[in-house]
Structure 1
Amino acid sequence: MSTLKTYTITGTSFEGSLVFKYDLNGSLQSYELDGELNDVQKKWLYNGRFPFNEVGIRTFMSINNFTVHGGELDLSFDHFWDAYAFKVGKKPMAANIWKRMSKADKIAALTGIKPYDAHLRRHLQREKANPTTYLNQRYWENEWNKY
């Protein structure tokens, strides 16, 4: 699980919604269509307007027929707990640490999980740190790609 910004787009010209999910670098990670687009709408969307990066969402924000919802990150402790995927140690202690962290540190901690996990896959003899240790010792600040 990774930290994604989710945008839901609804419009007066089609039934349903478009859902775009971007990583913290603004790269599209998934796209869902709830409903159907007609041929004209498909041509419009896929002819240079498809938002492959988060900046492309601005196109939809500037058109009166569309409403864009979302764009917020899930910085809840439960999201961290699920993303870290090593549910050992004292969950309440980790939750207390998380509660005291700044928004910037929460984002950094969440985005640091993936490189840390990749490092552990390259070094199988190392065990994953408990979530409280990861948070207390700020593991996300290590440059895991160099080890």
Structure 2
Amino acid sequence: MKKYMLTSVLFTGTVVFVYNAEGWLVGFDNSAEFSDDQHLWLIKNLPLKLGVIEPWSKKIKGTLKEVPMDLSFDVFWETYGKKINRLRTEPLYKKLDDTAKALAIMRVKPYQTYCKNNNRGIADPEKYLRNGYYDTDWSKER
């Protein structure tokens, strides 16, 4: 998941864009002060793919900054939601490199959706990490 913050001389405030691992826009937060025309332009011209956001930001005289992802254990713990065996889970999480931590967080929701759609129980977070369930792209599993 990648997050970018946009500022510009053309408006006050910021716009934040969030992209998933495949580079698709999955969310944005508009806390900028826009005119009606600017709002309409933004909605009609949203940078839907990560590859177009930088050239897009130059069109509007914007400054684009990547916001680092929070890879803390607490973020993983809250995202996973099944709060069992924290004392055994936290050391497993801390041993992961940053790429694995990002995957572990980003793939929680697709994993839980997969389990729900297939009438399966969700593994304890310790098992999710120990067995590398985060290495599977659950959005492509049936």
> Which TM-score tier does this pair reach, normalised by the shorter chain?
0.7 to 0.9
Question: Structure 1 residues 38 and 64 mapped into 2: Cα distance closer, same or farther (>3 Å)?
Answer: closer
Is 1:134 aligned to residue 131 of structure 2?
Answer: no
CA contact (8 A) 1:60 1:68 kept: no
TM-score by length of 2: 0.78
Counterpart secondary structure, 2:68: coil
Alignment of 1:1-147 (within 5 A): 4-38=1-35, 41-42=38-39, 45=42, 49-60=45-56, 62=58, 65-89=61-85, 91-124=86-119, 126-142=120-136, 145-146=141-142
Moved more, 12-21 or 38-47: 38-47
Distance 1:42 1:117, change over 3 A: closer
Task: Point out where structure 2 has 5 or more consecutive residues left out of the alignment.
Answer: none
Unaligned 5+ runs, structure 1: none
Percent identity reads 29
CA distance in structure 2 between the partners assigned to 1:52 and 1:84 by the alignment: 27
Could you tell me which amino acid in structure 2 is paired with residue 78 of structure 1?
D
Corresponding pairs, count? 140
**TM value normalised by structure 1:** 0.76
Q: 1:44 to 1:98 in 2, by over 3 A?
A: same
2-structure distance, mates of 1:8, 1:28: 13
Structure index of larger Rg: 1
1:23 and 1:76 map into 2 onto residues whose CA distance is: 18
